[in-house]
A and B are shown apart, each in its own frame.
Chain A
């Protein structure tokens, strides 16, 4: 079993939809949780970074962490065609930059 599980998609939604992306993990030592967006042939771009359980909002993006269930989510409101990309969750224990990534979910927002 992988330490981090993420549905690879692809996920197709109409423009304006609310998108929910999820990851589950098995290592209770993970303390830091990140979401990255990666466009084709580009490096990952940091979207959200959170430490504690609960919600963190940044514009149209909301990151949610539930440590008791070992489950994290990223919500995208009012999705746009420009949001079409692969979304990667990443997590790490305290004291290391050795991030463990999910396999990524491919999202396509249709105009």
Chain B
């Protein structure tokens, strides 16, 4: 069974640009969550989607947004990039909605560098 895939794996952007990252969950999984990982802050929750609906959101500015498609694939978008947005962006998938409390499986991440 294929794992969580994320594209692209590496990305370099400049301040002010916007970026879109993609995540394909494990086949059959319908829940996707996004996290930002930085050396200083560690892993921080961005948002969670199930059946195309955002169920939870972390404490990030509105420049960070996401969506989920009917095939469970998800994208996250960061507009007006800042230097501090440089991070590893991780996607995690699970089978059911958060009420079922099944565990999450992470993808390899997209490493974003903002210059």
Q: DSSP majority for the B interface? A: strand
User: A102 to B104, alpha carbons, bound, how many Å?
Assistant: 16
Interface centre among A43, A44, A98 (most CB of B within 10 A): A43
Interface centre among A46, A97, A100, A101 (most CB of B within 10 A): A97
* Count of A interface residues, CB-CB < 8 Å: 26
Shortest CB-to-CB span from B9 to chain A, Å, is 10
Q: Are A34 and B103 within 8 A (Cβ)?
A: yes
Known: A95-B101, A98-B58. A42 touches B45 (CB 8 A): no
Interface string of B32-44 (1 = CB under 8 A from A): 0101000000111
CB of A45 within 8 Å of the partner chain:
yes
Contacts of A94 in B (CB 8 A): 101
Contacts of B105 in A (CB 8 A): 46
**A interface list, Cβ under 8 A from B:** 31-32, 34, 36, 41-46, 49, 51, 88, 90, 92, 94-104
**B interface list, Cβ under 8 A from A:** 4, 31, 33, 35, 42-45, 48, 55-56, 58, 90, 92, 94, 98-99, 101, 103-109, 111
Q: Which 7 A-B pairs have the closest CB atoms?
A: A43-B106, A101-B43, A103-B42, A97-B98, A49-B103, A43-B108, A44-B106
